[in-house]
Each structure stands twice: as structure tokens, then as C-alpha cells.
Amino acid sequence: MHTVLILGAGFGGLELAACISESLADEARVVLVDQNDSFTFGFSKIDILFRDKAPEAVRIPYADLTRPGVEFRQERVTSIDPRTRRVVTDRSEYEPDTLVVALGADYDHAATPGFVEDGHEYYSIDGTCRLRDRLAEFTGGTVLIGILSVPFKCPPAPYEGALLLHDHLTRRGLRDAARIHVVSPMPAPIPVSAETSAALVAALGERDIGYTPGLRVQSLDPVRHVATTRDGELAYDLFIGIPRHRVPEVVEASGLTEGGADGWIRVDPGTLATPYPGVYAVGDCADAPVPRAGVFAENAARTVAAGIAAQLRGSPPPEKYRGQGSCYIEFGGGLVAKVDADFLSGPAPVAPLYGPSAELAQEKADFAATRRRRWFTG
């Protein structure tokens, strides 16, 4: 049996384990390692923040994972040697035939001075719970939403946050007492899709939500509650930031980021292979030319599964990674839009927009339910 060790049971790791369990059950066994005891969809943080969902209600325990040929182990990875494929965890050591790093992205709150002391975020579960509690006490004033660094997970998420915050404050009768302003270093919300960007900018405008593209918040002054930018200061009563993203420390220490852009794992964009034989990286931690989002991690995992199958069977290399994924965007009022992105199939990325509509809101719910079934039970 060929052993595939997958580090990280998130979007990428779970999809890869499912693919191998489905197509290579007789030839390969999977060991899937994650430090947590449960998986949570990134977008569930929005449900915790705005839809009164308890964190426990959106957690999917790994104990439910019954996929044949997949063994889940709750362990923390402490060292990775890509040359020998030797991995050490807090409980064990491994030397698999194939190693796939799917450890996602960590947040570096301290990279923005003042953010730890005076900022909030909804990119981690703990941060989301703190912000939910802070919002419950909010009675009015300026909410500044700042994207602190690029790349970051789920490019539409800051705009979804602003639109849903509008609904939340409206429901509580506080919208007239509040100002919402989004500040982004990017030139447009979704630069690859002019129509999606236009729809988001129009939606912000219709709700009187301020939007300043091309501007980055550099630091916060926790005493005066002002954000510093190249163009001067912006006052806030509540600052919500999209924190700077980085690879987990164990990945940085492994040397896998050498040659990758801005500290991400260097991969061949067509195969997701790293320069080390038998070592791949998928998802947010990899320096593939796609946004950081679960749907791209999933698409990358399928490419890696096909590559492992071709190698085991001696068949020709599979189709190259296309960087495809359908991203759902919450517009508020129960409406959801969908962007069908394809980054690598053609000479330039394409990303047409559908909706927003109530039907697509249902499709998004089905998307999560399908993943849950496929990954955990098959």
C-alpha cells in the first residue's frame, strides 16, 4: 500500500482524502492529520456573527469521518523535512510515500500595529465570537472595515461583512446612528471580475456604505481610535480588520517557502508539486496563481489526487490544474450571487457573475451539505 500523508484536514485536505478514498482505495491509504477535533467552513463565521449560530452548531467533528482507507489523527505538526518527507507531530513521526501539505493560512495580527489592542476580526472562530459580543453592545458610531494585507482568504468576505452588517444594524434600528466604511488596498473588490466588482460597489452605494479602494490601513492608534493610512487618519468607533495572512510557522521552518512569492509554498502551478519529489502543497498555503478560497483548494486537491493516481498506475500525467471554482457572495437580504471563476484554463482568467438571488442562497446551503456528506461519509 502506498501511504499518502495529508497535513491539514481543511477544504483541501478533506477533498484530497475523499478523492483518494474514492479512486485509489485498493492502492493507497491516507493518514489525515489535523490539530483540531473538528472542521468549520470559513463562511460559517458569517453565520456565527449575523445569524445567531453557536460555534458548536457549525463544527463538524472529525470523529464523524468514516471514509474507507482514511485514518484521521488529531495531532499538531511540529516539523516537516521535505527532502526526506519526514514529518514529526506532537504524538508521532511519519515517512510517507507521498506528502501533501494542506495546512492553510495563519493570521499575523501583530503585523499591523495597534490591531491586537483595538481591532476586531471575523476570520477566526474566537475573533468572530469576540466581534459578535462587541456588536451586541454597539449602539452607533463609525465602523471601519480595513483589509490589512493581500492575499487574504475569500476576497468577497470583507464586502459580505459590510453588507450583512448593514442588515444587522437595520434590524436593530441602529443603521441611522452608524456609518460603515470599507478601505481596501486593492483597486476593486474582485479585480478579476469587473461585473462582480461593479455589483458589489453598487450594493455598497445603495446602502450608503463608504468604500475607498487603493488605500491600506497601516496601523491603529488604540488610544485615539484612529487608523493611519498614506492619506491621513480615519477615525472609528469599531475597527474590523482582515488580518495579514501567512503560512503556519511549521511550514516556514520547513524551507518549503523558498522560491515562493511573499513567503508562500513554491509549487508548479500545473501540478501543485513542490520542488521536492513526492511532496505537494494545496490550498491557502500554496503559491498558486489563484485567490485563497476553499473552492480553489478543493480544485487543487483533485489535481493532486489525479497526479498520485497517474504515478501509481504508470498512466500519462493528468490534465493540468485549472484554478476553477464557484464562489458564493452574500449580498444581504437573503440574496446570494455566484462567480464561476476559471483562472488558468485560458489566456486570461474569466469570472462571470450570476445573481444575486434567493435560489443561489439555497445553492450555497446545498454546496455546504454536499461537501459535508462527501468528505465525511462518502
Ligand X SMILES: Cc1cc2nc3c(=O)[nH]c(=O)nc-3n(C[C@H](O)[C@H](O)[C@H](O)COP(=O)(O)OP(=O)(O)OC[C@H]3O[C@@H](n4cnc5c(N)ncnc54)[C@H](O)[C@@H]3O)c2cc1C
Choice between 226 and 296, CB closer to ligand X: 296
13 forms part of the interface with ligand X (CB under 6 A): yes
What minimum distance in Å lies between the beta carbon of 328 and ligand X? 5
Select the residue interacting with ligand X from 250, 308, 336, 361 (CB under 6 A): 250
What minimum distance in Å lies between the beta carbon of 17 and ligand X? 11
CA atoms lying within 13 Å on the CB side of residue 225: 11
Residue 275: cis peptide before it, omega within 30 degrees of 0? no
CA atoms lying within 13 Å on the CB side of residue 338: 17
Q: Which stretch binds ligand X (CB under 6 A): 11-19, 141-149, 178-186, 268-276?
A: 11-19
What minimum distance in Å lies between the beta carbon of 232 and ligand X? 29
Contact 294, 42 (CB under 8 A): yes
What minimum distance in Å lies between the beta carbon of 128 and ligand X? 8
10 forms part of the interface with ligand X (CB under 6 A): yes
Choice between 87 and 227, CB closer to ligand X: 87
- Separation between Cα atoms, residue 258 and residue 1, nearest integer Å: 31
Calculate Rg over the CA atoms of the chain. 21
327 forms part of the interface with ligand X (CB under 6 A): yes
Contact 328, 338 (CB under 8 A): yes
Q: What are phi and psi of 82, to 5 degrees?
A: -70, -20
Contact 35, 74 (CB under 8 A): yes
Sketch the per residue contact string, 182 through 221, with ligand X: x for CB under 6 A, - otherwise.
Answer: ----------------------------------------
122 forms part of the interface with ligand X (CB under 6 A): yes
- Separation between Cα atoms, residue 263 and residue 285, nearest integer Å: 9
Q: Which stretch binds ligand X (CB under 6 A): 97-105, 137-145, 201-209, 213-221?
A: 97-105
12 forms part of the interface with ligand X (CB under 6 A): yes
Question: Cell match 488558468: residue?
Answer: 344
Contact 77, 184 (CB under 8 A): no
38 forms part of the interface with ligand X (CB under 6 A): no
- Separation between Cα atoms, residue 347 and residue 233, nearest integer Å: 41
- Separation between Cα atoms, residue 16 and residue 305, nearest integer Å: 6
- Separation between Cα atoms, residue 263 and residue 287, nearest integer Å: 8
What minimum distance in Å lies between the beta carbon of 41 and ligand X? 7
- Separation between Cα atoms, residue 328 and residue 310, nearest integer Å: 32
31 forms part of the interface with ligand X (CB under 6 A): no
Q: Which stretch binds ligand X (CB under 6 A): 17-25, 41-49, 138-146, 273-281?
A: 41-49
Select the residue interacting with ligand X from 148, 215, 295, 339 (CB under 6 A): 295
Which positions lie near ligand X, rule CB under 6 A? 8-13, 33-36, 42-43, 45-46, 76-77, 102-104, 122-123, 153-154, 157, 248, 250, 283-284, 292-295, 297, 327-328
